Structure 1
Amino acid sequence: MLTVDEPAVAVLGVASARRRGWPAWLVRIGSVAAVVALWQLLTVNHVRLWLRFDTLPTVTEIASAFARRVATEDYWLDLGQSLIRILTGFALAAVVGIATGIMLGRSPKAANVFGPLVELARPIPAIAIVPVAILLFPTDEAGIVFITFLAAYFPIMVSTRHAVRALPTLWEDSVRTLGGNRWDVLTRVVLPGILPGVFGGLSVGIGVAWICVISAEMISGRLGVGYRTWQAYTVLAYPEVFVGIITIGVLGFVTSAAVELIGRRATGWLPRGQGADR
């Protein structure tokens, strides 16, 4: 009769997973490199196939502009300012969005009073509130943070509300049958049960928040990546424009990846959370 060495099987499984992971990373890196190479080819040769690549800067010109910008103090000041705005607005939206989502999902009275107001305000794009924010807040900084908060708030709140309503009532009934109170239901049933939905809302919220904070910086900011990108466009410094675009993309990717990573760690106890790491 054959016996199976469990440690050996585990080691082989890890090695097999690593072998499966390398091709995926190579494909991802290769896809980016292919797009960059195609961009260089089209712009260097001034290709015009309906799209006018002859008017765009080449990859080498963008790289040179990027190297110059990174060496300046203004670049890092803009970077820090945009990060402060996005993190402040997003953190406020996470706290308020989760709290109000739970309240609207569990309280019929709150849903009747505040639900219509939320649904009326939700379709309005946050960037359309910029003129109101300029009039309402004493400083442009507070207005930009408010726009960022508003952009992230609604995806977080809606995802949390739906997650609360999707919880099986059997879980709450079981806790109450065992003598649990409202606090026990909240901490042992509601909060753990809605985590996947909450992090889904956070992932969407951080992306929407970046769109709106950059737009707000272009309209009313004095510092920030969006402001600097728009200034480069007004003086026709197109390589500098793409430096801003690339910076925005990298910042969005890093913050979204951080939210996803925290979400996987927070929901790792779920059965489907184990498969997400493979």
Structure 2
Amino acid sequence: MAAVGTTLAPAATPDAAGRACAPRAVGAVAWTRWTARLLSLAACVLLWHWASTTRANFGLVSFANLPPPADVTRAALDLLQSPKLLHHLSYSLWRVAAGFAAAAALGIALGLLIGRFRWAEATLLPPLEVLRPIPAVAWIPLAILMFPSSELSMIFITFTGALFPILLNTVHGVEGVDARLVASARSLGTRHWQVVSEVVLPAAAPSIATGLSIGMGTCWFCLVSAEMISGQFGIGYYTWESYTLQNYEGIVVGMLWIGLFGMGSSALIRGAARLAMPWYRPGGRSA
């Protein structure tokens, strides 16, 4: 029994204990994930170093001419000190931004129409489905003939590559909206376009964000192909020029720049989507 005059300290409630432990648990999980990612990248670099220095030959695949990471690093540092890098990247970034913005605007608009109206699905979707399997690279000769400048043709190629992932994900997102939400909004007197902006669009936003992220990746893929064929500036042109000059280190440097900017731009889209959709929390991934 407690002595008279003494006070017992209140026991920590489960909720308070959970709040105290939550930051530590989140920090530990984040640290584990980043450690795993860094170790994965380090393992890839070590495997690359081993294959290039030993000139590994597996029959179908040979690494005899692959430059090792040290040579690529020196070439990357030389390029960083050269004004050519900023020149090439500025052209590529402009082409990707212009093509992606046009594809996002048209893809989301068409996706909303096709997903909401049967007449739009019957009239607009069939020709788009015919064009969708055509690779963006196949459009390059026709784009050169259609547009007066190679700059517009390359922007068109990036637009074509990003359009269909955005369009199809928007259509699937709109078609997956719960019909009860739409019926409830209409029963409350909501007008049709208000239903689209206040019910359909927020419900389809996660699918649209996925399409935007995929479309950004295809933008870079298509841009590099276009720059290799019809460009004079850009990171894809730099990569192809390095190949023609047998500058093997430059090829890898160009590929790494493309990968970094493609990954970074997709990450920006995902981050912006999380900020724009505070209500959406995906729960399918296990720890």
One-letter code of the match for 1:110? A
User: TM-score, normalised to structure 2's length?
Assistant: 0.91
Checking the alignment, whether the CA contact within 8 Å between 1:264 and 1:273 is kept in structure 2 is no
Q: CA deviation at 1:38?
A: 2.0
Identity of aligned residues (%): 37
1:30 aligns with 2:39: yes
The structure with the largest alpha-carbon Rg is: 2
2:243 and 2:76 map into 1 onto residues whose CA distance is 15
- State the partner residue of 2:98: 88
Q: How does 1:163-174 map to 2 (within 5 A)?
A: 163-174=173-184
Q: CA deviation at 1:9?
A: 2.6
User: TM-score, normalised to structure 1's length?
Assistant: 0.94
Q: CA deviation at 1:132?
A: 0.8
Q: CA deviation at 1:273?
A: 4.4
| Aligned residue pair count | 276
Q: CA deviation at 1:200?
A: 1.1
Runs of 4+ in 1 over 4 A off after TM superposition: 273-276
2:198 and 2:100 map into 1 onto residues whose CA distance is 26
Corresponding residue SS for 1:192 = helix
Q: How does 1:109-128 map to 2 (within 5 A)?
A: 109-128=119-138
2:205 and 2:35 map into 1 onto residues whose CA distance is 32
1:66 and 1:36 map into 2 onto residues whose CA distance is 15
- State the partner residue of 1:254: 264
One-letter code of the match for 1:165? E
Identify, as 1 or 2, the structure richer in helix: 1
1:97 aligns with 2:74: no
Q: Deviations over 1:145-168 (max 9, x none)?
A: 111011101110111011111111
Structure 1: runs of 5 or more not aligned: none
1:75 and 1:257 map into 2 onto residues whose CA distance is 22
1:76 aligns with 2:86: yes
Corresponding residue SS for 1:124 = coil
Checking the alignment, whether the CA contact within 8 Å between 1:267 and 1:273 is kept in structure 2 is no
Q: How does 1:214-253 map to 2 (within 5 A)?
A: 214-253=224-263
1:125 and 1:6 map into 2 onto residues whose CA distance is 55
- State the partner residue of 2:203: 193
2:228 and 2:128 map into 1 onto residues whose CA distance is 27
Corresponding residue SS for 1:179 = coil
Structure 2: runs of 5 or more not aligned: 1-9
One-letter code of the match for 2:57? R
